[in-house]
Amino acid sequence: MKYISYFFIAIASALLVILLSLSSCSPNHKTTTSQPMVIKDQPQTNQQTADATVKIHNFKFEPANLAIGVGKTVQFINVDEEPHTATATDGTFNSKALDTNQTWNYTATKPGTYPYICSIHPFMKGTLTVTPQKN
């Protein structure tokens, strides 16, 4: 009789562990989306009209080289299934991670040539050239 009670206690303990494990695996039905982070001194919204667009597609920036004028806005849109960023190698801009179909806008403030990469996939490269006169 003593061993039968140990057997039932072991079965009850195993069931309890299984139930607790399964309850922690239940899907979270709350979905949260975060907006891409924008550089503090250049507040942008995704509703702003863009003067140019860079599409992130097949692990490439299209077009890879883009020229815009100071004060013009470029919109980056990720159409890949994987998250990507548009991150200037000198730190001038950083979109943070963009999920599928998310966009991020950057308004150029200073002339220059700005190479950028996807910080998640550094083999992805592009160049933004900002000209002094508005294009």
pLDDT tier for residue 133 given thresholds of 50, 70 and 90: confident
Radius of gyration of the chain (CA): 25
Helix, strand, coil shares of the chain, percent, nearest 5, are 15, 30, 50
What does the pLDDT look like over 98-125, one tens digit per residue?
999 999 999 999 999 999 999 999 999 9
If one compares 22 and 85, the residue with the highest pLDDT of the two is 85
Within 10 angstroms of residue 78's Cβ, the number of other Cβ atoms is 25
Structure tokens at 13: 């303990």
What does the pLDDT look like over 6-49, one tens digit per residue?
777 878 777 777 766 666 555 554 444 444 444 333 334 445 68
Q: In what order do the strands lie in the sheet with 65-69?
A: 65-69, 125-131, 112-117, 87-88
If one compares 45 and 58, the residue with the highest pLDDT of the two is 58
Which domains does the chain show, CATH number per domain?
Answer: 52-131 (2.60.40.420)
